[in-house]
Structure 1
Amino acid sequence: MINAHLKYLFFVTKPYSFSILEPVQNAIQKSNSGTVKWFTASSASHYLVPGNQLKSNREVHDYNPDVVLVPGNVVPHYWPGLKVQIFHGLDEEVKGFYTITGFFDLYCTTGPVMTETFLKIAKRKKHFLVEETGWPKLDYIFKNKGNFTDQKNQLIKQYGLNPELPVLLYAPTFPAKYTSAPDLLGAIKNVNNGKYNWIIKFHPLMDKTTQEQYKQLENKYLRVVDELNILPIMAGSDLMITDTSSVAYEFLSFDRPLITYQALARKDKGINIQKPTELSTAIEQSLMKPDEFSINRASCLREIHPYSDGSSSDRMLQAIARILNDGLHKELKQKPLNIIRKYQIRKMIDRSQAKG
């Protein structure tokens, strides 16, 4: 184990990324292996930061971070520190997942499928490193599995639901090309008939009109909730319904029934319906046979996130410390110019400074 005390900067542009980075902050604090500062931009700049915040380029340069952790695709190239991509999701279903933006020195991958692909690209491009560490966000699940027994009761109490009924979580993705929300509106309205509790959790970037349409369905059995971290809701749900969203892969860690709508990859991880009219039957089948796809879920997890020890944050920190200690990042080739993208990022940072 390398003992290093490093200065970390967490760069966040999307509000759902806070829950990805908080376990890393906890690991750093627990091990006393460094200091942490946060910098928010874009849609994340409107949210409360769970730690010490920097608000300008000058403050970043004065802090002079050793490492910049990013659960996103871009980062200011002119900031000091090793630039580390830790991803904002587990899935590869959306086009462009393996697009290399040319901003990162290190990609911390979540499992063997992702690692294999990025290693092939790294061998060709030679301007970034790859380390398989697991995904920090899931540390919460594996470290707290024994404490989830009462989570369903907590959800029912929090949202005023019926304790005698199953809890169904619907969490669609937001891009118009992939989201199931418009298609499933009528089907969910029909199934909102008092047989189930419903919790609807939208992506923060979901179309506002669509969100309002679902809010019209609210009654004593259905709630539309506005929580940044979906994991506690997953922990209390009997079943989840989604589409191509990365949350499908996060839910696999609970080994509970999953229904997807027109999934593009790994369609056998649950019941994958093609038409809204198939939803009701899929729900009944999933609740009646909760273990039907358990073997498939386990197989999928081995490919995308085989780590169940709750120590992905620690592995990530050790990998970073080792790379810095050995100077491996200094052997990388020069990154592409990316002039237009760099200009766009600089403007984004300028806007966040103006708000601050």
Structure 2
Amino acid sequence: MLVSKVIKRILSGSKMQKIYKIIFKIVGELPKKSSLVVFESFHGKQYSDSPRAIFEYMSENTPNAQLVWSVDRRHTKLFEGLNIPYIKRFTIKWFLTMPRAKYWVNNVRLPNWLPKPKKTEYVQTWHGTPLKRLGVDIKEIHMPGTDTGRYKRNFITESSNWDYLVSPNAYSTEIFTRAFSFNGQVLETGYPRNDFLYNYTQRDVSVVKEQLNIPKDKKVILYAPTWRDNQFYSVGQYKFDIKLDLNRMKEQLGNEYVILLRMHYLISENIDLTEYEGFAYDVSNYLDIRELYVISDILITDYSSVFFDFANLKRPIIFYVYDLDEYRDHLRGFYFDLEQEAPGPLVKNTEQVISHIQAVSKDNDLSVSYQQFYSTFCGIEDGEASKRVVEAFYNDK
């Protein structure tokens, strides 16, 4: 363990990064492999999100394309188990492959030291419709390891490498171009990751429930909160304290419901749910949240972009926003008035959460505000966003 930590420290040092950069530049000058597409999701830690949806579409519809994933060395077993071609990040093979790819498809920022070769086309899908402020729109940064000025400079440097930026709607297009200082081509196509929400089958639902061992007679609540910029252990390792009273929820809802807890990928907590066995399930490491959406009857979230995606299913959403004032006024700030425009009730304690869940069981009609929300944010989603994105960037000639 000590040896591995020393090696990691050496490889992450500034001198090694300079060497990496030089190697990357040299290899990047070699002729491009015109059919090679390299995918990455959440820093190589997942097979998920819009990169996955685009990969799946291309696997079926672009037979001449060479598709490979860039994967964090700690997560290679996932790709091996799924029989998906991959290369380990920052290995010799990676340095000989990544710079020669004609296309990159990613959903988060790449390391700042990594130079994009001139003839590589970078498709940035991003990973959510914005509620909280992004990029240069954030007034003050509270994250560890950076400051406001450096964070914004790094963001602008990264976005200057993007050739295409995928947007799910007109609202996002306006914000993305400003917040990312983006001057490339916006693909306002809907989100590829949401295609599944229009194309899934009841067989898909049954398979996921069986995998998670969820009783067939129980309804499903999905709790998927975001992270807090100022609650952290270290850079990229964030704390999260579940404020829901699971005892009360189990007592009042356990006969009818189970609850799935899906923590944000930046949250490093290990959740012990032993005493809630049969009611609460930790699904933070489940392959892709899209499959959790389709088995869920109700979503509970806060400021996460998951509610924009879940709304495609036209199912009830409850906003558990116990720290709304602090988050809105001090940490991030919002792009629209959540209290006025949210497609569901805003609540601040467990009893209110329980009350609204019980009310959902009696009334499943969508409110006028939810219908308006759907029209604004989900209106161009139709299950074919991946197709539109691929047709825009990939040239197989």
Moved more, 128-137 or 95-104: 95-104
What is the one-letter code of the residue matched to 1:10? F
For 1:52, the equivalent position in structure 2 comes to: 85
Q: Does 1:169 align with 2:227?
A: no
Kept in 1, the 8 Å contact 2:239–2:268? The answer is no
For 2:4, the equivalent position in structure 1 comes to: none
Which of 348, 351, 363 is the equivalent residue of 1:277? 351
What is the one-letter code of the residue matched to 2:101? P
Which of 266, 277, 282 is the equivalent residue of 1:224? 282
| Offset at residue 313 of structure 1 (A) | 1.1
3-state SS, counterpart of residue 281 of structure 2? strand
CA gap of 1:167–1:105, structure 2 versus 1, over 3 A, is: same
| Offset at residue 171 of structure 1 (A) | 1.8
TM-score when normalising by structure 2: 0.67
Kept in 2, the 8 Å contact 1:86–1:107? The answer is yes
- Identity fraction in percent: 18
What is the one-letter code of the residue matched to 2:87? L
For 2:195, the equivalent position in structure 1 comes to: 139
CA gap of 1:67–1:288, structure 2 versus 1, over 3 A, is: same
For 1:238, the equivalent position in structure 2 comes to: 297
For 1:87, the equivalent position in structure 2 comes to: 126
Q: Does 1:77 align with 2:115?
A: yes
CA gap of 1:277–1:59, structure 2 versus 1, over 3 A, is: closer
Cα distance in 1 for residues equivalent to 2:175 and 2:134 = 14
Q: After the TM superposition, which residues 1-356 of structure 1 pair with which residues of structure 2 at under 5 Å, given as runs?
A: 6-12=35-41, 13-16=43-46, 18-32=48-62, 34-41=65-72, 47-48=78-79, 51-55=84-88, 56=91, 59-62=94-97, 64-74=100-110, 76-79=114-117, 81-96=120-135, 100-103=155-158, 104-119=162-177, 127-144=183-200, 147-148=201-202, 151=205, 153-154=206-207, 156-175=209-228, 182=241, 184-186=243-245, 188-193=246-251, 194-195=254-255, 196-208=257-269, 211-212=271-272, 215-225=273-283, 226-262=285-321, 265=336, 266-267=338-339, 268-293=342-367, 295-321=368-394
| Offset at residue 149 of structure 1 (A) | 7.2
| Offset at residue 235 of structure 1 (A) | 0.9
Cα distance in 2 for residues equivalent to 1:52 and 1:87 = 22
| Offset at residue 58 of structure 1 (A) | 5.4
Cα distance in 2 for residues equivalent to 1:97 and 1:290 = 40
What per-residue deviation string (whole Å, max 9, x for no partner) do you get for residues 9-30 of structure 1?
1133053453432221122222
Which blocks of at least 5 consecutive residues in structure 2 are unaligned?
Answer: 1-33, 138-151, 232-237, 325-333
For 1:338, the equivalent position in structure 2 comes to: none
Cα distance in 1 for residues equivalent to 2:312 and 2:320 = 19
CA gap of 1:282–1:97, structure 2 versus 1, over 3 A, is: farther
What per-residue deviation string (whole Å, max 9, x for no partner) do you get for residues 128-173 of structure 1?
33221221111111122xx13772x555544444433322122222
For 2:18, the equivalent position in structure 1 comes to: none
Kept in 2, the 8 Å contact 1:170–1:242? The answer is yes
For 1:353, the equivalent position in structure 2 comes to: none
Kept in 1, the 8 Å contact 2:250–2:279? The answer is yes
What is the one-letter code of the residue matched to 1:128? G
CA gap of 1:70–1:158, structure 2 versus 1, over 3 A, is: closer
CA gap of 1:43–1:62, structure 2 versus 1, over 3 A, is: closer
Cα distance in 1 for residues equivalent to 2:61 and 2:185 = 25
| Offset at residue 270 of structure 1 (A) | 1.0
TM-score when normalising by structure 1: 0.74
What is the one-letter code of the residue matched to 1:40? V
What is the one-letter code of the residue matched to 2:202? F
Cα distance in 1 for residues equivalent to 2:384 and 2:182 = 28
